[in-house]
């Protein structure tokens, strides 16, 4: 029963902590953000859910090839990576005229689904996207409907897709917030993460490339070649059309944080990647993740009365709380505990509160519970109360006892005196 109660309490603790964080009730202080050229940004730690920086994140933008994140995750969930897909002329039609980026497969090639997934993610190949769309839903049109259904399921309420590639259309739009929802969802898939973090890939042999099609990441290649310094960078998806500007969905890890950053409408000269370097270099010094509370942390000792097993009891935390805070944050713990726990006490009894303060602002609190039954001893109860009575009234008792003793002596003395007088009278007669 106790374990079930504690499990429920832990669940509620986590729920309210997340609610506390997501509603922005964290000490932000006077955060000074660096200057970037991208007009829209959404920066979030997906481990804690904290949004560390957002600017114009709800403004409608053109997502360009960030659209392909949706195309890729749908294909991953629907297809077997080892299956093959035949490239047809319809899949390539219009791509050259639209100046779309391609991986390089030709009509008649039979790459695997895995080849097409890498071709979608690394070189941002529109040829691969069209092939995957046909493999999943039979046509690009049906696949686009699938994309919009998936967007609705994910809560992307300000997104509408017209095509699976991200080629410009005035009715093809999203926001940084919506793209962050999509990116965070994609990152729950191991294959998606594996592909995202790959810099190079060679496809299986195909008719047009017997040695396989060589592919390179449009983001990691810039980092590994030393063109951009992005500390902690694990990989990302780039996008570009002239109306959209440079876009980037970046995954990064540093200072105990797992971060996603959506940058949109950056300058044409790879401005989104340059901005990512600025953002993560700033973040490296500005923030870190604090493990504020873990299950089993000692929160304080309380004296125990009338228990034969112990004189004091240590209260421990049950919850977990990690939070991203400015790097120089001063963290303090304040335990609001009773002076004493009077036995009997049953396991699961609330017995105090732990408060966590960051720069003197409370960022977390947790009710502390007794984990064990504390037995009651009647003998210890009686002894304690006798001692307490003696401490409170000992002087008065001593005075009374002394008075009674003196009275006894006086009475005894008078009695002896009377006996002597009687004896004296008898002796005269």
- CATH number of the domain residue 66 falls in: 3.40.710.10
Band (55; pLDDT cuts 50, 70, 90): very high
In angstroms, the CA 163 to CA 171 distance is 10
Residue at which a domain ends, from 288, 312, 340: 288
Q: Is a pLDDT exceeding 80 seen at residue 186?
A: yes
65-79, 100-114, 277-291, 375-389: range with lowest mean pLDDT: 375-389
State whether 350 and 398 are in the same domain: no
> Is 244:250 a contact under the CB 8 Å cutoff?
no
In CATH, what number is assigned to the domain containing residue 314? 2.60.410.10
pLDDT score at 107: 97
Identify whether 26 is part of a domain.
no
Identify whether 107 is part of a domain.
yes
Q: Is a pLDDT exceeding 70 seen at residue 20?
A: no
The residue range of the domain holding 101 is: 31-288
Domain count, the chain: 3
Which tokens hold the place of 324?
């991203």
State whether 207 and 182 are in the same domain: yes
Q: What is the pTM of this model?
A: 0.82
Identify whether 25 is part of a domain.
no
Closest by Cα among 84, 236, 69 to 165 = 69
pLDDT score at 23: 40
Sheet holding 331-336, edge to edge: 331-336, 350-358, 361-369
> Is 353:365 a contact under the CB 8 Å cutoff?
yes
Band (258; pLDDT cuts 50, 70, 90): very high
> Is 96:125 a contact under the CB 8 Å cutoff?
no
3 state DSSP class of 350: strand
Question: Within 13 Å, how many C-alpha atoms sit on residue 202's CB side?
Answer: 5
Q: Is a pLDDT exceeding 60 seen at residue 216?
A: yes
Band (390; pLDDT cuts 50, 70, 90): confident
> Is 280:319 a contact under the CB 8 Å cutoff?
no
Q: State mean pLDDT over 233-242.
A: 96
State whether 35 and 86 are in the same domain: yes
In angstroms, the CA 15 to CA 29 distance is 24
Closest by Cα among 125, 167, 160, 123 to 145 = 160
> Is 300:62 a contact under the CB 8 Å cutoff?
no
DSSP class of residue 56 equals: S
Residue matched to tokens 């228990």 = 307
In the chain, % of residues over pLDDT 90: 79
3 state DSSP class of 151: helix
> Is 252:233 a contact under the CB 8 Å cutoff?
yes
Q: State mean pLDDT over 81-107.
A: 95
pLDDT tens digits for range 132-161? 999 999 999 999 999 999 999 999 999 999
Residue at which a domain ends, from 273, 288, 303: 288
DSSP class of residue 220 equals: H
36-40, 165-169, 292-296, 381-385: range with lowest mean pLDDT: 381-385
Band (428; pLDDT cuts 50, 70, 90): low
State whether 315 and 173 are in the same domain: no
Q: Is 55 exposed, middle or buried (0-12, 13-18, 19+ CB in 10 A)?
A: middle
What average pLDDT does the chain have?
90
Q: State mean pLDDT over 236-240.
A: 97
> Is 203:213 a contact under the CB 8 Å cutoff?
yes
pLDDT score at 415: 79
> Is 105:206 a contact under the CB 8 Å cutoff?
yes
């Amino acid at each position: 029963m106790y374990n079930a109660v504690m499990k429920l309490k832990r669940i509620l603790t986590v729920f309210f902590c997340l609610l506390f964080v997501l509603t922005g009730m964290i000490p932000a202080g006077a955060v000074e953000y660096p200057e970037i050229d991208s007009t829209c940004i959404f920066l979030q730690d997906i481990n804690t859910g904290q949004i560390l920086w957002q600017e114009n994140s709800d403004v409608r933008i053109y997502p360009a090839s960030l659209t392909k994140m949706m195309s890729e995750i749908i294909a991953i969930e629907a297809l077997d990576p080892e299956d093959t897909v035949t490239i047809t002329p319809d899949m390539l039609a219009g791509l050259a005229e639209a100046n779309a980026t391609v991986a390089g497969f030709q009509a008649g090639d039979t790459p695997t689904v895995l080849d097409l997934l890498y071709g979608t993610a690394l070189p941002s190949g529109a040829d691969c996207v069209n092939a995957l769309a046909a493999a999943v839903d039979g046509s690009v049109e049906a696949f686009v409907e699938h994309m919009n259904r998936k967007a609705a399921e994910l809560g992307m309420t300000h997104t509408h897709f017209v095509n699976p590639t991200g080629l410009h259309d005035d009715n093809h739009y999203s926001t940084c917030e919506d793209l962050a929802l999509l990116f965070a969802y994609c990152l729950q898939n191991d294959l998606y993460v594996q592909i995202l973090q790959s810099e190079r890939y060679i496809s299986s042999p195909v008719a047009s490339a017997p040695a396989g099609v060589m592919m390179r990441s449009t983001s990691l290649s810039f980092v590994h070649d030393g063109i951009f310094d992005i500390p902690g960078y694990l990989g990302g998806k780039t996008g570009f059309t002239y109306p959209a500007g440079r876009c980037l969905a970046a995954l990064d890890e540093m200072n105990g944080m797992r971060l996603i950053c959506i940058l949109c409408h950056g300058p044409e000269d790879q401005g989104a990647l340059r901005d990512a370097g600025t953002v993560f270099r700033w973040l490296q010094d500005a923030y870190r993740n604090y493990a504020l509370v873990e299950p089993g942390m000692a929160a304080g000792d309380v004296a125990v009365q009338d228990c034969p097993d112990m004189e004091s009891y240590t209260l421990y935390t049950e919850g977990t709380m990690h939070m991203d805070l400015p790097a120089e944050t001063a963290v303090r713990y304040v335990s609001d505990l009773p002076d004493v726990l009077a036995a009997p006490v049953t396991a699961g009894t609330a017995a105090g509160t732990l408060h966590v303060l960051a720069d003197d602002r409370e960022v977390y609190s947790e009710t502390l519970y007794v984990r064990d039954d504390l037995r009651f001893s009647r003998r210890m109860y009686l002894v304690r109360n006798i001692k307490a009575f003696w401490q409170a009234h000992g002087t008065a008792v001593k005075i009374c006892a002394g008075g009674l003793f003196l009275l006894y002596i006086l009475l005894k003395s008078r009695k002896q005196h009377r006996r002597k007088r009687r004896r004296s009278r008898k002796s005269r007669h």
